[in-house]
Amino acid sequence: MGRVATRRSVLAAAASLSLAAAGCGKGIGALGTPPRLLPDVAVARDAIAGENLMISRYDAALAAVPALAGSLTPLLEQHREHLVRLQARLIEPAAGSQQDQSPSGPAPTAPPQVPASPAAAQAYLREAEQTAASTLLGKLTAASPSLAQLLASIAASEASHALLLVPNRRST
């Protein structure tokens, strides 16, 4: 009984909604304003860009010093995990104008220049990891609680990477 009434009211509401969507100006106003971007979106985008940059640096380092593959590959894999987890946080509307369609493609910038000696390449990545970690910590207070926790965890992972990027540590 109540169910029928409910269904009716739902149908009525749907009808008025479609009328509103059909065009009269007042109705559109009743639908409300489009959702504004939450601060998390900007923070997550920045963090995704940061991870993409780290991945491109590791790729460049591996190309420059293939002998470091054994020590760098596990760290690169973790950056890829960071990226996946961050991208999962970024739910953007698929419709409409997508000016930056591919957040995974740092297209316009040239590949990073990595020094060709193993020690210098490690030092380069070590500094990049430390910078990335402190950049994430700088975003912490702008993020929602759960995104802040993810950023803090990733920052701790990157600081840990820096600890491992020392010359002659477990040489293969």
- Expressed in angstroms, the distance from the first to the final Cα of the chain is 74
Position 123, amino acid: A
SS3 170: coil
- Helix H, strand E, coil C: the string for 90-111 is CCCCCCCCCCCCCCCCCCCCCC
How far apart (Å, rounded) are the C-alpha atoms in residues 163 and 150?
20
Which of 39, 70, 74, 167 forms a contact with another protein (CB under 8 A)?
74
Minimum separation from the CB atom of position 164 to another protein (A) = 6
Nearer to another protein, 78 or 131 (CB): 78
Is there binding between residue 133 and another protein (CB under 8 A)?
yes
**One residue of 146, 167, 168, 171 binding another protein per CB under 8 A:** 146
Q: How many residues does the chain have?
A: 172
8: Cβ–Cβ under 8 A, 6 or more apart, which residues?
none
Is residue 55 a contact residue for another protein (CB under 8 A)?
A: no
Structure tokens given for 16: 């008025």
Q: Cα separation of 90 and 86, whole Å?
A: 7
Among 52, 76, 82, 122, binds another protein (CB under 8 A): 82
154 belongs to the binding site for another protein (CB under 8 A): yes
Binder of another protein out of 9, 88, 149, 167 (CB under 8 A) = 149
Least CB distance to another protein at residue 91 (A)? 19
Tokens of 38: 């939450």
Span interacting with another protein, options 24-32, 33-41, 87-95, 155-163, rule CB under 8 A: 155-163
Q: Name the residues that contact another protein, by CB under 8 A.
A: 74-75, 77-78, 81-82, 85, 133, 137, 140-141, 145-146, 148-150, 152-157, 159-161, 163-164, 170
